[in-house]
Structure 1
Amino acid sequence: MADIYRPVRPPAPLREQVYESLEELILDGRLKAGERLVESDLAARLGVSRGPIREALQHLERDGWLEVRPRQGTYVREPQPDELQDYFWARKLLEVEAAGRAARRVRTSPDAAAPGLERLRRIVAKSEELTVGLPPKGVTDLTPEQAERRRQYRENSRQFHYAVGELSGSPALVELLVFLGKRTRWYFSSLGYNSRLDEHKALLGAIEQGDEDTVMSLMREHMDSMTSTSLAEIRSHA
């Protein structure tokens, strides 16, 4: 089995590098829910002393990624469906507003919005390129190249939502979307591939037209669909 851990390097403080490395492994599902994390093992794999490992684990527990079980150890926490529903509810409120603001900005300040709009177009074009020839949802027997393209598609889809937030012109909104995006991404790591390219295309089209009402309605439907699909899949595997 390939080693999923990569040695961390300066210049960032080691505890931050360890935190980011472990958080990414959790978000990608390479560290599974219920998996025990042992300080000495992590220190050897990441090439650091146990001090930064201990600090990072404490911060990961504080941030809700891990749980400490008395007399048992530290484990990757099991995400719960009610948490996902709550995070998606908050995401929907922000994403609908972000989409509306983005469309309004395209209509009222086209020059200022042009770079962000072009970025959205590139993201959608890249997603379309990545989906060509990919097996449908539910197929898990993938070649390494297909698995990598599927991973890139998921990342590109996340970037679409962040780009809509950036196009809204609100840095605070983007910061909140990134936080909530991580929380919902945690659940997606255990779910199958699910292309929503057509929905992203429709959202892009409404933003290009500066159609605030339509894009807010489309984003609301998009988020509702993502929520219901994800909850159904998680409950089916419970």
Structure 2
Amino acid sequence: MQPTELPTSMAARRIDRPVPLRERVYQSMQELIISGHLAAGQHLVESELAEMLGVSRQPVREALQLLNSEGWVDLRPGYGAFVHVPTEAEADELLVVRALLETESARLAALHADAAGVARLRELCRQGEAAVATDDIEGMVEANAALHRCVTELSGNRVLLDFATQVDRRVRWYYTPIARQRGKKSWQEHAKMVDAIERGDAEAAARIMREHTERTRKSYLDQRKSAAQPEQPPALVRTRRRPGTASARR
């Protein structure tokens, strides 16, 4: 018979409960960065953030440490905390990986999507087009992220969904500055992809998604080249990343 009681030595291995306020501040600041309300290169002052979020400075300080460890914020000795400015290489690498994941997602979605799934995609296209018509940048970004996630969900591949979820927040961050630029054209591409998924044409769906994500990648890189880059003090401090932290929150 197997023992049913844990040894008393296990009592010292209890997992600490998370600190909800720190997590909420972390999530709020992350969303402010993604949306561009906290711009790349912007100086982050603890007291100002605490007042804005209605909390004390301690959870803000803890959230900044977490954001720093995951590459959203840079801590610079003698300067303070700044929103990270993604390098061209960082953005290019992530968007290339995103293209690979979502091209396969579109191919599989064409093989497995049912009528209800296609209807969901059509509704998200409608929402995205409405956001373009009213110049609602946040609405464009949210609808774009939701549509791409829906395609991956319809693929039926849980591993693909897990990986796509891990890069989703970064993709939204990079897409926000070019959402207006991509505008109507992006949603025309989405509509063509949904048409291919509805027909069950896996190769066409994959090709359209591959071309679509490549246009987004190129638009982002072109936008970076034309934009002035914030001056970067040379010394950066990055705390060690905790394995699995980013995907756990997402």
- Percent identity reads 39
Q: Is the 8 A contact 1:188 1:230 kept in 2?
A: yes
Query: Could you say which structure has the larger radius of gyration?
Result: 2
Does residue 190 (structure 1) correspond to residue 177 (structure 2)? The answer is yes
Does residue 39 (structure 1) correspond to residue 46 (structure 2)? The answer is yes
Q: 2 CA distance for matches of 1:30 and 1:58?
A: 19
Other-structure match for 2:118: 117
Q: 1 CA distance for matches of 2:163 and 2:221?
A: 22
Other-structure match for 1:170: 157
Q: 1 CA distance for matches of 2:66 and 2:116?
A: 37
Q: Is the 8 A contact 2:50 2:57 kept in 1?
A: yes
Other-structure match for 1:89: 96
Q: 1 CA distance for matches of 2:131 and 2:200?
A: 27
Other-structure match for 1:152: 139
Q: Is the 8 A contact 1:103 1:207 kept in 2?
A: yes
Candidates 205, 209, 231, aligned match of 2:221: 231
Amino acid at match of 2:64: L
TM-score normalised to structure 1 length: 0.81
TM-score normalised to structure 2 length: 0.78
Structure 2 alignment gaps of length 5 or more: 1-18, 229-250
Moved more, 197-206 or 119-128: 119-128
SS in 2 for 1:67: strand
SS in 1 for 2:71: coil
Amino acid at match of 2:139: Q
Q: Is the 8 A contact 1:26 1:32 kept in 2?
A: yes
Other-structure match for 1:140: none
Candidates 66, 77, 101, aligned match of 2:73: 66
Distance change in 2, residues 1:124/1:191 (3 Å): closer
Candidates 178, 199, 203, aligned match of 1:209: 199
Q: 2 CA distance for matches of 1:225 and 1:190?
A: 14
Q: Is the 8 A contact 2:141 2:179 kept in 1?
A: no
**Once the two structures are superposed, what CA deviation does each residue of 1:38-92 show, in whole Å capped at 9, x if it has no partner?**
2222222212222211211111001100001111111111111111110111001
Q: How many residues align?
A: 208
Q: 2 CA distance for matches of 1:151 and 1:189?
A: 8
